[in-house]
Structure 1
C-alpha cells in the first residue's frame, strides 16, 4: 500500500532517491527508492533516536556484514547499507507480492500444496540465514512475501542489533511479535540461549497460520498468547499429514527438541503435500494481490492499483521453490553430495556421481538429486566463473589477502576477501580478486629460513607451491558442505590457534582439523 512521502521525509539517502513510504515498524521506516543505476529497491531507515548511539551502530554494522553473506535465495537480498549515515539505513531487494499476512486476510488460508511450498521456501531461507551466522528473530507472516517467483523472507539482519541495545527498548519490551516468539524469548532468566531454534519455532507458527488462518497459540491478548506459548500445546487442528508432525516438532517448548532448519528441509522434501477435504489445494494456491502489506512489513507490487492479479498454482510454486533450493552453493549438501570422507569435488565416496542423492548427516535421509540449475551454479564456482569467500569453519572467519600479500582472516566484507578458483587439471589455483594488490596474486606456500610453511600472495603460475586440492570433508555446524584444502607438496591448510594464523602442515595420519565453506559472492 502506498503511503506517500511525509513532510520531513528525506528526498535522498546516500545515492538513493526516495519515491514512496511503504510502511514502518519498531525499528524504523521502509521506503521505496531508486538506486543510482535506476533499480527499484527498498530502503529501511533506522529510527532517529538510534542515530547517535555508537553501540547500536557497531552492532548494526556487524549484523549487516553477516546478512550480506546470506545468499539471495528465498530472501530479499541485502544490497547496501551505511551504518555511519545519519540516520543509518539498509538497502534490500525490492520484492513484488503480498505478505502472507495480507494474503490470508484477503483470501483465507492456503491450500495443502500452497502451504507445503511456502513451508519449503521459508525453511530454505532460514537454512541460508542460519548458515551465514544470522538469526532472524522476527519471523512472522508479515515478513514472508509471496512473490511471483517463489517465497521471499524479509527483515533479517538488524533485529539482533536493535534488541541487544536494550536501553532503547521499553521495560520488558522484546523485538518481535508475541504470537511467533519461542518460549525462551519470554524467559531470558531461564538461561536458555536465543539461537536458530527460536526461528524454527517461528517457522512452525507461520506454517500453522498459513494452513488454518490462525496462530497455533492465539489468545485474546499478547499476554494471553505468551502464556499459551509457555504452558499450552499448539492447536494444529486443520493441519494434516507429515507436515503436521514437522510443525509439532518445530513448536516444542525446549529448543533442543526442535529440528534444525536443514532438518526441516530434509523432512519437507521427503513428504509430499496432502490434500484433505477440509483443506483442498486450490487451482491458485498463491495468488499475489496488487499491493503488498506495507503496514506490516510487505512491499507493494509494481503496477499497484491496476487490479490485475498474477496467479500461480500451488504445484507450480512448489516446483519453483524446490528448483531454487538446489541452486545455492552455500548450504545444500545435495549440490555436491558425499559423506565425511575426503573425496574429490564432484564425486561421492563410492565413486558414484554426486547427483545420485547423497545422505544428509543431519536427518539421515536421502537428499534429492540437484536440478540442472543447481549443478550449473556449483560447477560455475568450481570453473572459475564466480567470486567466492573462503570461510574457515572452525573459527567462523573468512580468508583475506590484503595489500601486503600476507594471508589473514577477517569478517569477509572487504574486497581483499574475494577469490576465484582457477582450475588446473583436477586441482585449483586460488586467485585473489583484491584490486589493491597488483596483478591479483594467487595463494602460494612460502618456506622461511626456519622451515615454517606459510601462505602468501605469489604470481599466478601453476607450480607445486600454488596448486591445491579441494576435497569434501563433511559438513560444518551450520549445515553447509565443508572442504579441506591441501597442497600435495607441502601439506594441508590448518589453523594454528596459538599463533592465530593459517599455516601449511605436513599431512600425516591425523584427520584434517581445519575445513572451509565456499560462499558464492556472485558472477565475475
Structure 2
C-alpha cells in the first residue's frame, strides 16, 4: 500500500523520481520510485542522524556491495545505492505484493502446498544470501513479500551495517525483532557469533508463524519471549509431518545442531508432499539451483550483547537486564546511538548543511508529567524528578548528577533548545545535555558563578569552555537557550549570547536532549528547576503551517494522539493537516491531474509533539455509533460526535497508538477529544 509523499519529502534522489511512500521504520523511509527507463523500484533513504556517521557510511557501502552479489533466487535484487549522498539511499527491486504478515492477518494460517511453498521460498533466499557471504539478521514475516504468489525476501544484509557500527546499539540493544532472534544473539559469555545459523533459526520461526499464526516462543513481553527462546522448547502445536521435524531442527538452541540453508532445501525438496511445487516450476527451479550454492565464509560481527547466559534457574537475570530491542523496519522508536571515546578531529564542515534536515520538534510546559516523567523520592536514590509549583524540579541526592526521563526523540543537524531554568539551591547547576548517545553528549551548565559548555564523556568533560556569570543566583529564573548552527553550539541567556563551542565529535551527529541538575559541591541534596521547554528542528517548508495547540483562543485541531493521561490531566499530541485530495492539491499547488488529488484523505505531519493540559473531565467522543444509525460520524475536521466512556477511549488509544483525533482547546487547555473517522 502506498501513501502520498509528504510536502517535505524529496521528489528525486539521483536518477530516481520518487512517486509515493511505501513505509518508514527504524533505519529510514522507503519510497516507490521510478528509474530512468520507467521501471518501478523501492528506494530506502537512511535516517539523517545516521547519514553523518562516517563509520556507518563505510559499513553501509561494504554491505551493499555484498548484497548486490546475491543471486535473484527468491530475493528482491539490490539494484543501486549511493552511500556518499547527503542522505545515503539504497535502490532495490519493487515487489508489488503483500507481506507474509499481511497474508496471515487477512487469510489466517497457511497449510498444504502454500505453506510448503513459503518454506521453500524463504530457504531458497537464505541459501542465495549466505552463498554471497551475507547474513540477513532481521528475517521476519514483514520481510517476506509475495510477487505473483512467489515469496521474495527483502532487506538482507543491511541490518548488519547498523548493528556492526558500535554507536548505533547500546550494550543492552541489538538490531532485529525479538521473536525471531536465535539464542546466541542474547549470549554474552559464549564465544559464538551470530552467523548464518541465526538466519536458519529465524526461518524456523517464520515457517511456524506461517503455519499457526503465532510465533513458537511467544511471551507476554520481549523479556519473557527472550527467556523462552533461551530456556524453553518451541510450541509447534498445529504444525505436523516432515515440516514440523525440520522446523524443530532449525530451532535448536545450539547453532551447530541446525541445518544449513542448502540442507533445508535438500530436505524440503525430498519430502515435498502432494507435489506442492508442480504449479510453481520457477520456484522449484530456483530452489534446486540454490541448494547447490556453496556458502561463502562470513566474518561474523560481534553482537551487542544483552545479559548473561540463561539457564532455567537464571532466566530472571535476562528479564532484569533485558532493557530494549529495536526492530529495524518496525514502526517503532529509532535505535539509540553509542558514543565511543571522544575524537580530536576537526569540526564537521558547515558544507554538510544539515539545517535542511527536518527532524522532530516538541513543546512541553513541564508543569505536569507529559513528555517528561516523574521519578519517586528515595533515601538511597541518586536523585529524583518531581512536578511542583508548575515546574519540573530535579534533585540530586546520593549522586552529583541526575537527569530526568524525557522523550526518546533524537535530534540531528541544526536545532534550538529553549527552557526557563532556575538554580534552586546555591550548590546546584541547571544542566542541559544534547546529542546524548548512551553516556556521551554535549553539556551546558548554568551555575551561580559561571556558565559552561563542553563535551561530557560519561562524566569527564572534554574541551569545556566557561564564562563567569552571576545570572543564575538561587531563585532567579532565566530563559536559557542552545542553538546549534553549522556544527557550532551557541548558548544564550535571555536572548544574549554568552559563549559558543564547535561540535567536533563526528560520533555525536545526533541524539537525545536531557534536563537535569549538577551538584557542584558534591555533597548533600541540590535542586534545579525547569519550565516551558521547546526543542525545535528547522522547518523545511515555511509555507506549511499547523494549528497552535498552546494558543489562548478556542480552536479545534486534528492531531496524532500519542498519549492521554486522565489522572495527570494531560495529552501529548502532534498537530497534522487532515485533507482530502482536492484540498491537498490546492494547498500545495499540485496540478489536479495528479493521482494524489483523487485520494480520499491525506495526512501531512508536523513532526511537532506538544504536551497539552486537559480539563478535569474533557468531553470524549467517537464516530463509532453503537445504534448503527450513522448520526455520530461528524466531520472530517471535528471528529465523531457520539459520547464515549473514558475507559473505552483509553482502550482505543492503546490499541491504536498515534490514533487520529480532533482536539478542542480553550486557553491552551483541551476541553474535548474526539476520535476521527478514517475511511
State the TM-score bracket (shorter-chain normalisation).
0.5 to 0.7
Match of 1:322 among 264, 269, 284: 284
* Structure 2 Cα separation of the partners of residues 395 and 7 of structure 1: 42
State the match for 2:316 in structure 1.
none
* Structure 2 Cα separation of the partners of residues 233 and 161 of structure 1: 31
Q: What are the residue-to-residue correspondences of 1:424-435 with 2, within 5 Å? A: none
* 1:317 Cα offset (Å): 5.3
What per-residue deviation string (whole Å, max 9, x for no partner) do you get for residues 271-308 of structure 1?
A: 12379xxxxxxxxxxxxxxxxxxxxxxxxxxxxxxxxx
Q: Is the 8 A contact 1:113 1:318 kept in 2?
A: no
Q: Is the 8 A contact 1:33 1:41 kept in 2?
A: yes
State the match for 1:248 in structure 2.
248
* 1:7 Cα offset (Å): 2.9
* 1:218 Cα offset (Å): 1.0
* Structure 2 Cα separation of the partners of residues 264 and 256 of structure 1: 14
* 1:206 Cα offset (Å): 0.3
State the match for 1:158 in structure 2.
158
Question: Taking structure 2 as the reference length, what is the TM-score of the superposition?
Answer: 0.42
State the match for 2:24 in structure 1.
24
DSSP-derived class of the 2:72 partner:
coil
* 1:212 Cα offset (Å): 0.6
Q: Report whether the alignment pairs 1:198 with 2:160.
A: no
Question: Taking structure 1 as the reference length, what is the TM-score of the superposition?
Answer: 0.55
State the match for 1:52 in structure 2.
52
In structure 2, the CA distance between the partners of 1:394 and 1:256, relative to structure 1 (3 Å rule), is closer
Q: Is the 8 A contact 1:114 1:315 kept in 2?
A: no
In structure 2, the CA distance between the partners of 1:167 and 1:146, relative to structure 1 (3 Å rule), is same
* Structure 1 Cα separation of the partners of residues 198 and 279 of structure 2: 26
Q: What are the residue-to-residue correspondences of 1:76-475 with 2, within 5 Å? A: 76-148=76-148, 150-170=150-170, 172-273=172-273, 318-326=280-288, 328=289, 331-333=290-292
In structure 2, the CA distance between the partners of 1:169 and 1:270, relative to structure 1 (3 Å rule), is same
Q: Is the 8 A contact 2:51 2:88 kept in 1?
A: yes
* Structure 2 Cα separation of the partners of residues 395 and 56 of structure 1: 19
Q: Is the 8 A contact 1:208 1:215 kept in 2?
A: yes
Q: Pick 1 or 2: higher relative contact order, CA cutoff 8 A, min separation 6.
A: 1
State the match for 1:460 in structure 2.
none
Bigger proportion of residues as helix: 1
* 1:316 Cα offset (Å): 5.5
* Structure 2 Cα separation of the partners of residues 90 and 395 of structure 1: 22
Q: What are the residue-to-residue correspondences of 1:506-521 with 2, within 5 Å? A: none
* Runs ≥4 residues deviating over 4 A: 314-318, 393-396
State the match for 1:462 in structure 2.
none
* 1:169 Cα offset (Å): 3.0
* Structure 2 Cα separation of the partners of residues 394 and 249 of structure 1: 22
State the match for 1:425 in structure 2.
none
DSSP-derived class of the 2:86 partner:
coil
What per-residue deviation string (whole Å, max 9, x for no partner) do you get for residues 221-264 of structure 1?
A: 11111111011000011111111111000000011110000100
What per-residue deviation string (whole Å, max 9, x for no partner) do you get for residues 38-67 of structure 1?
A: 110001111111111110011111101110
Q: Is the 8 A contact 1:117 1:317 kept in 2?
A: no
DSSP-derived class of the 1:333 partner:
coil
State the match for 1:466 in structure 2.
none
* 1:115 Cα offset (Å): 1.0
* Structure 2 Cα separation of the partners of residues 177 and 26 of structure 1: 11
DSSP-derived class of the 2:9 partner:
coil
Bigger proportion of residues as strand: 2
- Mean Cα displacement is larger for which, 145-154 or 118-127? 145-154
* 1:36 Cα offset (Å): 1.1
* 1:8 Cα offset (Å): 1.9
Q: What are the residue-to-residue correspondences of 1:488-507 with 2, within 5 Å? A: none
DSSP-derived class of the 1:248 partner:
helix
* Structure 1 Cα separation of the partners of residues 149 and 292 of structure 2: 23
Q: Is the 8 A contact 1:150 1:317 kept in 2?
A: no
Q: CA RMSD in A?
A: 2.2
* Structure 2 Cα separation of the partners of residues 104 and 35 of structure 1: 32
Q: Is the 8 A contact 1:76 1:93 kept in 2?
A: yes
- Mean Cα displacement is larger for which, 94-103 or 141-150? 141-150
What per-residue deviation string (whole Å, max 9, x for no partner) do you get for residues 104-149 of structure 1?
A: 0111011121111110111010000000000000000110112115
State the match for 1:311 in structure 2.
none
DSSP-derived class of the 1:106 partner:
helix
* 1:320 Cα offset (Å): 3.5
* Structure 2 Cα separation of the partners of residues 19 and 188 of structure 1: 44
DSSP-derived class of the 1:21 partner:
strand
* Structure 1 Cα separation of the partners of residues 220 and 170 of structure 2: 22
DSSP-derived class of the 2:157 partner:
coil
What per-residue deviation string (whole Å, max 9, x for no partner) do you get for residues 386-415 of structure 1?
A: xxxxxxx7999xxxxxxxxxxxxxxxxxxx
What per-residue deviation string (whole Å, max 9, x for no partner) do you get for residues 309-336 of structure 1?
A: xxxxx6555444112324x4xx4439xx
State the match for 2:362 in structure 1.
none
What per-residue deviation string (whole Å, max 9, x for no partner) do you get for residues 153-178 of structure 1?
A: 00112110100113123552211110
DSSP-derived class of the 1:219 partner:
coil
* Structure 2 Cα separation of the partners of residues 156 and 242 of structure 1: 28
In structure 2, the CA distance between the partners of 1:246 and 1:198, relative to structure 1 (3 Å rule), is same
State the match for 1:519 in structure 2.
none
Larger Rg: 2
- Runs of 5+ in structure 2 lacking a partner? 300-679
* Structure 2 Cα separation of the partners of residues 317 and 227 of structure 1: 41
- Mean Cα displacement is larger for which, 112-121 or 168-177? 168-177
Q: Is the 8 A contact 2:144 2:152 kept in 1?
A: yes
Q: Is the 8 A contact 2:124 2:291 kept in 1?
A: no
